[in-house]
Structure 1
Amino acid sequence: MAEMISVEAAADLELDRARVSPHGRSARALLHDGRLRHTLIALLDGQALGDHPKPEAATLHVLSGTMIVRADEGETRVETGQLVALPGPRHDVTAVGESVAILTTIAG
């Protein structure tokens, strides 16, 4: 039987962890399936993941709040309920307000 994950409960927990983290962020792996990875990310207002390279493929699904994705091509505002393919080869993600998202990647 497949493992069932309560995304809502996991999001609440990671947001609580971000609130007490000195870095204002928290993340945990939700699910791995071969090279496919789902990571839950919670960021407090103004916190960023910083400029980093894109994996082979990556999407960001914002569950709550707003995240700004910046890359050479420009800036994209991703709101609650929206899903976006992350640009490459490098990008940055910053929270506007308390925000939670699922990052889905194909790991090399």
Structure 2
Amino acid sequence: MTKISIEALALHQLHAAAEAGGGRASETVYGGHEKSLRQTVIGMLKGTSLGEHDNHDDATVYVLQGRIRLQIGKDSWNARPGSLLIVPHGRHSFEALEDSAILMSVAKRPYPPGQLLP
């Protein structure tokens, strides 16, 4: 078994984001390309974003520190520490409304959304 302090990792990623040119830093806590589940802690400085991208998998974002905004088309949701956002399928983006750390969990789908297995 492996034990990880998500709070310590969040703080580390915020410090790394401050040193990074783009104001963001991340570390995969569990999983990766070889697993169906991937969990990543992302540190983002105020004003930085994860630009628009598509989501075909099941995903959640748990806010560890700070405040973020999830934008989908004209709709947006603000979240603060302790909030869990269920990320809809489709194009979306995230913006840090203040220095923030999030835990993003993605479960890769074996098939496209809406398609039933045979």
Same fold (TM over 0.5): yes
TM bucket (normalised to shorter chain) is over 0.9
The whole-number CA distance in structure 2 between the counterparts of 1:96 and 1:83 is 16
Which residue in the other structure is 1:5 paired with? 4
State the secondary structure of the residue aligned to 1:13: helix
Give the match for residue 84 of structure 1: 85
Mapped partners of 2:66, 2:56: distance in 1: 24
Letter in 2 for 1:25: R
Counterpart in the other structure of 2:112? none
Aligned residue pairs, count? 107
Match of 1:23 in 2: 22
Task: For structure 1, list consecutive stretches of 5 or more residues without a partner in the other structure.
Answer: none
The structure whose Rg is larger is 2
Percent same amino acid at aligned positions? 28
TM-score, normalization by structure 2: 0.86
Equivalent in the alignment of 1:97: 98
Point out the structure with the larger strand share.
1
Q: CA deviation at 1:56?
A: 1.2
Q: Detail structure 1 runs of 4+ shifted over 4 Å in the superposition.
A: none
* Displacement after TM superposition at 1:36 (Å): 0.8
